[in-house]
Structure 1
């Protein structure tokens, strides 16, 4: 793992936080430091510290001398812990949302088919 990988890890965690907790406009992405400031309170205390560490490491990557001082093992473990936590958040809600979308699609299909059937009956003069 290299220092350049820290930026990708921070971006992944920031996008997961934006997806799970909100705080980012649709089609936009935010820095991890911004997401920690906005929605860091939704994380458990230990993971909040890890997110703050990863955000600080992300800011240090731009400066070569400070980038060499990053604890890559801790950054990797922080990333792993945050991603595993954020992937598990809201599984039930996402499942319910998918089921609701499927039900809505089926209901719309039935309404359209019913409308077409009524239109056909009216055109034939059967109704």
Structure 2
């Protein structure tokens, strides 16, 4: 889904969408709070790869500049659209369900590892005492 910016309102929508995705994936926003992209980047921007962090800051600065109509007409709309697309493709693949499944799999793996270590320790103790 490639989205091309045609005016300042599109830039604002793109920045809000990226901010929402950062909050959903990395946290950093209270329930019901919708902070601007610049605030989300200060809070959780370090979780993004460096090349995407630069693009996100560019989009955040364009979002702030888009409030001024004369400056908004001078912004690089195709470049901002490419930055938005790169950020969206990085942030979208993992949805809420996938993250929940990842946490559940991680928890199950740690429980299985614990049981495996416990079984190995039990067998070792039984061998040391001569029961096996």
- 2:93 & 2:101 partners in 1: Cα distance? 12
Q: 1:15 aligns with which of 17, 20, 23?
A: 20
Pairing 1:94–2:105 present: no
Pairing 1:28–2:33 present: yes
Matches within 5 A, 1:38-53: 38-53=43-58
- 1:48 & 1:67 partners in 2: Cα distance? 22
Q: 1:69 aligns with which of 62, 69, 74?
A: 74
Q: Deviations over 1:35-85 (max 9, x none)?
A: 111111000000000000000000011111111111000110111010110
Pairing 1:57–2:62 present: yes
Structure 1 segments of 4+ aligned residues over 2 angstroms from their partners: 88-99
What residue in structure 1 maps to residue 90 of structure 2?
A: 85
TM-score, with structure 2 as normaliser: 0.69
Q: Deviations over 1:3-41 (max 9, x none)?
A: 220000000000000010111001111100001111110
Deviation for aligned residue 1:98: 8.5
- 1:50 & 1:94 partners in 2: Cα distance? 28
TM-score, with structure 1 as normaliser: 0.71
Pairing 1:37–2:42 present: yes
Over the residues paired in the alignment, what is the CA RMSD in angstroms?
Answer: 2.0
Gaps of 5+ in 1: 100-127
